[in-house]
Chains A and B, each alone.
Chain A
């Protein structure tokens, strides 16, 4: 409500040399996509809060050596942003490689093969192989839910499921437990998903999941197509009404 009462200030900045206008409080990513500039993302889903977990949206800001995540960095007057460079490609490629190393991402046996955001990101960044040793952790597959499956092997901990469940569905089934390489998505007190008392079986987490970590039962390899855009549209409508637009 407050944000709408106050007149939003406009900010001008340069993205890849082009002068663009944005509203104060917008992220660099918002400003870029509003002006048709593409910045790769994995953990970001429009309408949900941004967490800056995947580090794929890193951009260069003139005057600083640090790369900044575009999804969580607010625009400032006079910023000069670069969305593509050799250095950025290097970092983004490395980020994808490190995601692939973390779990077992064997596309050929994955329900989301061909419809996976991680896979297409790797392809578009030209990741043909991984330079680091695979972690190969032994992780479980949770089949206890009547309609859905959670395969930790494909999880990249983007926390889209956590956010969509908390922010859109309001059920708060998911969280990330532990830390570092031991981080896992958990429902309730690490209970089986099928026993999660809050779960409404709405499937938003499944549709929001960028990989094959959350999938619907009954789909074979290559068959699980996600509708993340629909979830995004729903989430955007919700944030729109929360800001007093209704």
Chain B
């Protein structure tokens, strides 16, 4: 039984990715807590910054960590994505300070501008991490509970740069510059 799943995981992953996972496992060794390092390495090496189910299955098989535990770790930490991410990641803070300074409106506007689905529906879904990606995979909109930059509220993080005192216009300008910069 175990061999059968092993083969499935082996076949559905590309050689390159399998090699990468093997290296990540070798690098992190067998010490406790190695799983997090492995997951992080594998995700950051992925072109779309995410962990595919095949990758998770392969990691579980190779490390001997039960698949349920791998899945549990990957879903517990906000760092890990199970869905492919866009080229640009825009992260809107939904903490209390940013909320009172209008971050919900920013998020609504951003979703509207980029034409991604109803995030209200997504907030009610089973997943705790909201991450919406445009169909062309150029933008991913995420939310975060707090950046710890409450004095600068509302805060939006664009490709790991924090923008402070954001309003709809500055956000729109930022998105525009990203769209044009890519052309």
Interface residues of A (CB under 8 A from B): 137, 139, 166, 172-182, 184, 186-191, 197-198
- When the two chains form their complex, are residues B71 and A188 in contact, meaning their CB atoms are under 8 A apart? yes
Give CA–CA (A174, B66) in the complex, Å: 9
- Please provide the 9 A-B residue pairs with the shortest distance between their CB atoms, ordered closest to farther: A172-B66, A175-B68, A182-B128, A175-B72, A188-B67, A177-B75, A178-B75, A189-B71, A178-B128
The B contact surface, by secondary structure, is helix
29 contacts between A and B (CB under 8 A): A137-B126, A172-B68, A174-B68, A175-B66, A175-B68, A175-B69, A175-B71, A177-B71, A177-B72, A178-B75, A178-B127, A179-B75, A179-B76, A179-B128, A182-B126, A184-B126, A186-B71, A186-B72, A188-B66, A188-B67, A188-B68, A188-B71, A189-B56, A189-B68, A190-B71, A191-B67, A197-B4, A197-B5, A198-B66
Min Cβ gap A171→B in Å is 8
Give CA–CA (A187, B56) in the complex, Å: 14
A189 CB contacts on chain B under 8 angstroms: 53, 56-57, 60, 67-68, 70-71
**Interface positions of B from 55 to 88, Cβ below 8 Å from A:** 56-57, 60, 66-72, 75-76
Min Cβ gap B13→A in Å is 14
Interface residues of B (CB under 8 A from A): 1-2, 4-5, 53, 56-57, 60, 66-72, 75-76, 126-128
Closest residue of chain A to B76, judged by CB? A179
A190 CB contacts on chain B under 8 angstroms: 71
A186 CB contacts on chain B under 8 angstroms: 68, 71-72
Give CA–CA (A180, B123) in the complex, Å: 13
Counting chain B CB atoms within 10 Å of each CB, the highest count among A175, A186, A187 belongs to: A175
Min Cβ gap B122→A in Å is 12
